């Protein structure tokens, strides 16, 4: 992995650490104030950790895991982002995905799009096919 792939993994790793830290503090200190929002932050943290690991690992299985987690992440950002705008009472406190990731400079909205683009361009076996053709 090189170039944009390394940057993608680094950003996912930082976002994973931030989401884990945020959800831990939220759940440990004030879970009863917004259990749905804080549970969604924890879910986002798990998704970011799994996506980071899947992007680092090689093989078709990990490639599929990367696709699944990134598509799930994008769906979560769109659904939670929309709900947090349409009905703010659902989320009295922000989640990682509230307002399309506003608290994280909208990186949660843009990152899965870059991740899906990168995965589409780097399917397992492409390098081997190019090498065999040469």
How much is the mean pLDDT over the chain? 86
Tell me, what's the pLDDT at 130? 44
Whose CA is closest to 65, among 73, 77, 55, 75?
Answer: 55
Tell me, what's the pLDDT at 101? 86
105 token code pair: 């400079």
**Which band of pLDDT confidence, cut at 50, 70 and 90, is reported for residue 33?**
confident
Tell me, what's the pLDDT at 2? 66
In angstroms, the CA 111 to CA 43 distance is 17
| CB burial string 44-78: b at 16+ within 10 A, e below | bbebbbbbbbbbeeeeeeebebbbebbebbbebbe
Stretch 2-28: mean pLDDT: 89
In angstroms, the CA 70 to CA 74 distance is 6
Tell me, what's the pLDDT at 83? 93
Given a contact cutoff of 8 angstroms between Cβ atoms, the answer to whether 100 and 106 are in contact is yes
114 token code pair: 């870059």
Given a contact cutoff of 8 angstroms between Cβ atoms, the answer to whether 46 and 104 are in contact is no
**Which band of pLDDT confidence, cut at 50, 70 and 90, is reported for residue 73?**
very high
Tell me, what's the pLDDT at 131? 42
In angstroms, the CA 84 to CA 65 distance is 28
Model pTM score? 0.81
46-64 pLDDT tens trace:
999 999 999 998 888 899 9
């Amino acid at each position: 992995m090189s170039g944009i792939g390394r940057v993608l993994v680094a950003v996912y790793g930082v976002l994973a650490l931030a989401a884990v830290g945020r959800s831990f503090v939220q759940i440990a200190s004030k879970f009863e104030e917004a259990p749905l929002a804080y549970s969604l932050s924890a879910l986002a943290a798990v998704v970011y950790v799994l996506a980071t690991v899947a992007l680092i690992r090689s093989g078709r299985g990990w490639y599929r895991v990367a696709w699944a987690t990134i598509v799930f992440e994008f769906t979560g950002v769109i659904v939670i982002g929309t709900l947090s705008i349409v009905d703010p009472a659902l989320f009295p406190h922000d989640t990682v995905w509230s307002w399309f990731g506003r608290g994280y400079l909208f990186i949660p909205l843009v990152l899965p799009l870059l991740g899906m683009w990168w995965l589409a361009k780097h399917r397992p076996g492409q390098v081997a096919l190019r090498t065999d053709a040469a």
